[in-house]
Amino acid sequence: MFVICGPKLSICGFIISIWAIIMMGLMGVFFLIKSPLLLEDIGPATDDDWKDRKKIDAIFQQSAYNCWVVAGVYAFLGLFSYFQMRMNSRQQYVVT
């Protein structure tokens, strides 16, 4: 495989990815159970939406899926950074 990121960038990306996976995964769960605290953070809703509970529920669910999509993308990024990290450390072995 080829090396794109340097050692620092790949470690940074790896840590942020782990953070994102955990946090976004959990937030997806919280959106799914319709935590009232996250009411302000759901996607945009018109005044009509607020009158209908089902619509709000649907927006909540959409937000939950969004969070999991983010977590999934970061899982890929995390894997990528992990392999970059491996490559970097292997290169270091070769040099010294």
Partner 1 sequence: MGSLFRSEEMTLAQLFLQSEAAYACVSELGELGLVQFRDLNPDVNAFQRKFVNEVRRCDEMERKLRFLEKEIRKAGIPIVDTGENPDAPPPREMIDLEATFEKLENEMKEVNTNQEALKRNFLELTELKHILRKTQSFFEEAEFHHQMQDPALAEESHALLLGDEERGGQPMRLGFVAGVINRERLPTFERMLWRACRGNVFLRQTEIETPLEDPVTGDQVHKCVFIIFFQGDQLKTRVKKICEGFRATLYPCPETPAERREMAIGVMTRIEDLQTVLNQTQDHRHRVLVSAAKNIRVWFIKARKIKAIYHTLNLFNLDVTQKCLIAECWCPVADLERIQLALRRGTEHSGSSVPSILNRMTTKQAPPTYHKTNKFTSGFQALVDSYGVASYCEVNPAPFTIITFPFLFAVMFGDAGHGLIMALFALWMVWREKQLMNQRKDDGIWSIFFGGRYIILLMGAFSIYTGFIYNDFFSKSLNIFGSSWHMANISDDDIKNNELLELDPNVTAIYKPASPYPFGIDPIWNLAENKITFLNSFKMKMSVTLGVIQMSFGVCLSLSNYRFFKDPLSMFSVFIPQLMFLMCIFGYMVIIIFFKWIAYDASISYKAPSLLITMINMFLFKFPDSQDDYMYSGQKGLQIFLVLVAVACVPCMLFIKPYFEWRAHKSGKRTVRFGTVQMQVNGASEDTAVIMDQDEGEMPPPPPEGAPAHKEEEEFDIGEILIHQAIHTIEFCLGCISHTASYLRLWALSLAHAQLSEVLWSMVLHIGLGFKGWVGAVVTILVFPAFAVLTVAILLVMEGLSAFLHALRLHWVEFQSKFYKGEGHQFVPFSFEALMEDHN
Q: What is the binding site for partner 1 (CB under 8 A)?
A: 16, 19-20, 23-24, 35-38, 40-44, 50-51, 62-63, 65-67, 69-70, 73-74, 96
Helices (H), the chain: 7-32, 47-51, 53-95
Q: Which residues contact 18 (CB under 8 A, 6 or more apart)?
A: 78
> Shortest distance, CB of residue 87 to partner 1, whole angstroms?
21
Is 24:74 a contact under the CB 8 Å cutoff? Answer: yes
> Shortest distance, CB of residue 61 to partner 1, whole angstroms?
12
Nearer to partner 1, 19 or 90 (CB): 19
Nearer to partner 1, 22 or 91 (CB): 22
- Tokens 């899926």 belong to residue: 65
